[in-house]
Amino acid sequence: MASLVKKIISTAKAPAALGPYSQAVLVDRTMYIAGQIGIEPSTGQLVSGGAKEEAKQALKNMGEILKAAGCDYGNVFKTNFPARAAYQVAALPKGARVEIEAIAIQGPLQDASA
């Protein structure tokens, strides 16, 4: 049985993971992007302006992680806004209001015909 390759994806253009996490992990061609919050990478601080601005920054951060793996938003096939972000089952780091995580496939994707 062939073994799968696991690679840690990291970039200085997105905030470092808070805690014992990686920004993303690539297993074979599947990339699991850890939950991103609206932290400005250059300051390490949460952006101001509420949930909308935090979501924009979280998506920018995610875009930089995708780029680090040779991908873009077109490679993303699943995103998740964890329930704790909406219902506060547990508080998010730094008092963030929004967290976005994603799964992407590395490499070219082609839609199958029905």
State the Cα–Cα distance between residues 74 and 114, nearest whole angstrom: 20
- For residue 76, list its beta bridge partners: 104
Residue range 24-79, pLDDT digits in tens:
999 999 999 999 999 999 999 999 999 999 999 999 999 999 999 999 999 999 99
pLDDT of res. 82: 65
Question: pLDDT at residue 86 above 70?
Answer: no
- Residue 27 and residue 6 in contact, taking contact as beta carbons nearer than 8 Å: yes
Name which of 104, 78, 91 is nearest 37 in CA terms: 91
Where does 1-114 have alpha helices with state H? 51-68, 83-87
pLDDT (average), residues 2-6: 91
The answer on pLDDT for 109 being more than 60 is yes
> Is the dihedral angle over the CA atoms 35, 67, 103, 4 positive or is it negative?
negative
**Alpha-carbon span 25 to 22, nearest angstrom:** 7
Give the pLDDT of residue 88: 54
The model's pTM is 0.87
Tokens at residue 84, please?
Answer: 């704790």
More confident residue, 27 or 2: 27
pLDDT value for 30? 97
